[in-house]
Structure 1
Amino acid sequence: MEYETVDLDEESGSVVILDQTKLPGKAEIIKLHTATEIWDAIYLLKVRGAPAIGVAAAFGIYVLARQIAEKNPDFNSFYKEFKEQKEYLDSARPTAVNLSWALNRMDEVCSKAHADGKNTAQIVEILGREAREIKAEDIRVCRAIGENGLSLLKPGDGILTHCNAGQLAACKYGTATAPIYLGQERGYHFHVFADETRPLLQGARLTAYELYSSGIDVTLICDNMSAMVMKNGWVNAVFVGCDRVAANGDVANKIGTSVVAAVAKQYGVPFYVCAPTSTIDLNTPTGNEIKIEERPSKEVTEMWYKEPMAPEGIKVFNPAFDVTSHELITAIITEHGIARAPFWESLAEHGSACYNKPTCEA
């Protein structure tokens, strides 16, 4: 875990990432120079996790802005191509709001700098500073989420997590794992159960990998074992990340999250969602309006097998995310504190966007 999840190489003009598709067997660092390379890295999950995607997008559009400015020093020509590249990167994955959030933030900085009379070269420099600040913010935000989440735990607690909302999904600490890492620093001696998270196995390949590498007591379980460990009383709290939070508190996260939430409700285990305010989308009233990405069928039928494990031609349904109802969520933990029901009210206090209350109550 000595590698950066996402970084920027100013000298070569590239986005530098740890290729998560190669983990846990190989830690491979790759450099992304072109729009296609950056788009592919996001779509193919070489970089993944809502916070990390946002940082990669910010670095990516900055790298592309440098290239555009070299060809088009005139602002109008520069900005036309800048917008095209921004929209292209934004199309890589539809569910995680951090992707569009980071790109829109960079676009706003670009427009403001132009309005302030900056030339194209100065605008590119400002974009670079903003991208680096987005990464620095992510580290501060994740640590704050960790502090807030840790206040809900006691030493020796058992924690269950789903997918990977760890350091590999952010720049440091992660979101759902931030309380775990801070607890580790302070001698809390948590025991963590990590769902393997089918079909892409982020829990097995990534969460188990990073927690085990960090010396944390972690046990890997299959997705269909969560009820057993909760029924046995081994889990005191569930902590998960998320990719988008609707105004009413519905949450889109990796497929299977809603199942864990329902099981936790059955056994009286608190279910906490760790969400940077950048993932709160107050313009989306409920989870029904969240677009759910569907992934290729081969991820289910053959990706992890030497030979296909399903009949050739079988129909496959492979949504990348599901939506957990706000009714199953005990609290949503942000960098600003702990939001509880009614979420349309508490999330508005935690988020940065304005909203229309009647719409958010829908």
Structure 2
Amino acid sequence: MSLESVRYRRGSLQVLNQLLLPQSSQYDSVSGVREGADAIRTMKVRGAPAIAIVGSLSLAVELTSNPPQQTAELLTFVRESMERLVGARPTAVNMKRAADELNAFLSREAEKPGVTVQELTDRVVQWAESLLEKDVRDNRLIGDLGAQHILQTTNAPAGVVILTHCNTGSLATAGYGTALGIGVWNPAFDVTPHELITGIITEHGVFRPEELRDGLSQGK
């Protein structure tokens, strides 16, 4: 059974303290953005997908316990909070993408006639929660599609050996992972030479490199 990197219910967030692994599996409470940024900065949480989830949910937890009273206050708080979270690990591209998407989403919602600050706050919380759900859903799709593709395109009665790298395990994601089954040796973090890549596995399907852009566009 894979470890959960994140435990969340509305108003409560806990992250697995990866600094203590493998000797101890300890979950630390995150009550708001400051603690979320600290967990990211100190590498209690690792992996770009998990960082974006923890950062966004730390915002949701703080908004649930201490909601702003004015729309302008909410807009400012969300913007500054996301800036703090992005700055905690600037190389985590998923966090920057989440910040840009949330700020754009909130700006659009705030322009709708008659919307209240409470409604806007609820929508931000729901948006953050949807990231958690989407990450698990995408992980399962990537794992399933990858397994099907490998089994269909190989002829290896004795089984196959698969090398994975980067964000494939449950600890780097919302808790499921994209490559499971997870007898593993990790000699290095590296980049595969492009001429060796024959297929790219995504939540929308498996594509040859030259097909990727068109395939993902159609998948959206």
TM-score range, shorter chain: 0.7 to 0.9
Q: Which residue of 2 aligns with 1:8?
A: 8
Aligned residue runs from structure 1 range 291-310, under 5 A? none
Deviations 1:153-208 (A, max 9, x none): 34621223345621111124312x24x47xxxxxxxxxx4421xxxxxxxxxxxxx
Q: Which residue identity lines up with residue 160 of structure 2 in the other structure?
A: D
Aligned residues: 212
- Residue 212 of structure 2: aligned partner: 346
Distance 2:51 2:195 in 1: 28
* Aligned counterpart for 1:85 among listed residues 77, 81, 102: 81
> In 2, are the aligned partners of 1:57 and 1:103 still within 8 Å (CA)?
no
Q: Percent identity?
A: 33
1:258-277 equivalences in 2 (<5 Å): 258=191, 261=192
User: What is the aligned counterpart of 2:174 among 171, 174, 186?
Assistant: 171
Q: Which residue of 2 aligns with 1:136?
A: 133
Note the C-alpha offset of 1:331.
Answer: 2.2
- Identify the structure with bigger relative contact order (alpha carbons < 8 Å, sequence gap 6+): 2
> What is the match of residue 122 of structure 1?
119
* Aligned-partner Cα distance in 2 for 1:101–1:165: 19
Shift, 1:52, TM fit: 1.4
Q: Which amino acid aligns with 1:20?
A: Q
Equivalence map 1:235-254=2 (5 Å): none
Provide the C-alpha distance between the structure 2 equivalents of 1:349 and 1:61, rounded to a whole number of angstroms: 33
**Cα-to-partner distance string for 1:221-263 (whole Å, 9 max, x where unaligned):** xx2xxxxxxxxxxxxxxxxxxxxxxxxxxxxxxx6313xx3xx
Following the alignment from structure 1 to structure 2, what is the Cα–Cα distance between the partners of residues 256 and 172?
20
CA-to-aligned-CA distance 1:261-314 (integer Å, 9 cap, x gap): 3xxxxxxxxxxxxxxxxxxxxxxxxxxxxxxxxxxxxxxxxxxxxxxxxxxxxx
Residue 139 of structure 1 and its aligned partner are, at CA, apart by 1.2
Q: TM-score, normalised by structure 2?
A: 0.83
- Secondary structure of the structure 2 residue equivalent to 1:8: strand
Of the two, which has the highest radius of gyration? Answer: 1
Q: CA RMSD in A?
A: 2.6
Relative to structure 1, the CA distance from residue 174 to residue 101 in structure 2 (aligned partners, 3 Å threshold; closer, same or farther) is same
1:141–1:341: structure 2 CA closer, same or farther, 3 Å change rule?
Answer: same
Q: After the TM superposition, which residues 214-253 of structure 1 pair with which residues of structure 2 at under 5 Å, given as runs? A: 223=187
Matches within 5 A, 1:27-46: 27-46=25-44
Consecutive unaligned residues of structure 1, counting only runs of 5 or more, are: 182-191, 196-222, 224-254, 262-324, 355-362
Q: 1:346 to 1:9 in 2, by over 3 A?
A: closer
Q: What amino acid is the match of 1:157?
A: V
Relative to the length of structure 1, the TM-score reads 0.53
- Structure 2 unmatched ranges of 5 or more: 152-156
Q: Which amino acid in structure 2 is aligned with residue 347 of structure 1?
A: R
Structure with the bigger percentage of helix:
2
Q: 8 Å contact 1:57–1:102 — kept in the other structure?
A: no
1:142–1:172 contact (8 Å) kept in structure 2: no
